[in-house]
Copies of this chain bind each other. A is one copy, B any other.
Amino acid sequence: MGCSESAAEIATNSLLIADLSGVDSHGVARLTGYVRLWEVNRINTKPDIKIIHETPSTGVVDGDSGLGLVVAPFAMQAAINKAKAVGSGWISVQNSNHFGIAGQYAMMALEEDMIGIAMTNASALVAPTFSKERMLGTNPIAVAVPAGSEPPFVADFATTTAANGKLEILQRKNQLVPDGWVQNSDGGNSNDAHELKKGGALLPLGSDREHSSHKGYMLGSIVDIFSGVLSGANFGPWVPPFPAYVPMPENQPGKGIGHFFGAMRIDAFRTAEAFKSDMDLWIQRFRNAKPADGFEKVIVPGDPEREMEADRRKNGIPLLEEVVTELENLGKRFEIEL
């Protein structure tokens, strides 16, 4: 597409991390989608990514319409650099694109003995509580926390009840979705895995008011405000859609998609040694919490992805036939031997 060698390598690495950790929806299966965005001039392959406003602990990065996969690590590194200097660093990003999985950027902080935070807004698929209109993206939050002898705590989750990827699996199997995942275009309950194509919406974490969907709505809103409003990117229903064929929302108030990154040095609070010792205790205690009847064990955030990665590094990454075909077509088109 014309990206620099180093940018291409960063982006490739990002997609592979997603595939390795089992988030197939955000791995190489997305490559065709990124190429399509480039075709409609929504990806700048030679972006001038830079900090346009800053204080010692904060800043705004302009992604210059670059691949989110390349803009995001630049911004997270800026947060880490600020944390090295003054204890913590917080970067809001405007004018970016889809950045893949949030967890990988939060995890960049781990090797620096820092807590890492990453979030992004995304095109509107989620209806607020009491609404039938799509107003928020799946707006994920990731937090990575270093430990000592234990592997790190890594949480990475969409602020909706169901991730889009889970809907897609049920679509392929022609199965119904459980109550509480989606609503129809009137705002009523639906079990149709194809509901999003019919004007329906994903539901915020909590599903309905009785189960506190307003909390998922608030979480998604916070991500949107930190990523979009604080940076000067688009927000709410104005966030650019990922599929290149979907028209851009009218009257956009900002530039591109927004992200938000944070890094906090552990020893800006207490010694890394004392913290890690307590964090090991936290992890061990939760992993050994009594399982509910009928369940084997309690999971510590980060465990499933780590297990998946170990398996896939050994046995390879399984790809759907249609993804393989897409990759072969891209290879032919860009004259890359597979």
A residues in contact (CB < 8 Å) with B: 53-60, 86-88, 90, 92, 115, 127-133, 135, 143, 145, 153, 155, 157-162, 178, 180-181, 183, 186-188, 205-207, 210-212, 214-219, 221-222, 224-226, 229-232, 235-237, 253-254, 264-266, 268-270, 274-275, 278-279, 281-282, 285-286, 289-299, 301
Contact = CB atoms under 8 A, between A and B. Distances in A.
Nearest to A55: B87
A104 B219 CA distance: 18
A133 B264 CA distance: 31
Contacts of A57: 56-57, 86-88, 268
Determine which residue in A180, A215, A275 has the highest number of CB atoms from chain B within 10 A of its CB, and name it: A215
Given A57-B87, A205-B212, 16 more contacts: A53-B269, A54-B87, A55-B268, A57-B57, A58-B265, A86-B86, A115-B226, A131-B295, A143-B222, A161-B212, A178-B211, A187-B293, A219-B219, A225-B279, A235-B278, A236-B282
B205 A128 contact: no
A293 B254 CA distance: 31
Contact of A188 (B58, B231, B293): B293
12 contacts: A53-B270, A60-B269, A127-B289, A130-B292, A131-B290, A135-B289, A161-B206, A178-B211, A206-B211, A232-B270, A232-B274, A236-B286
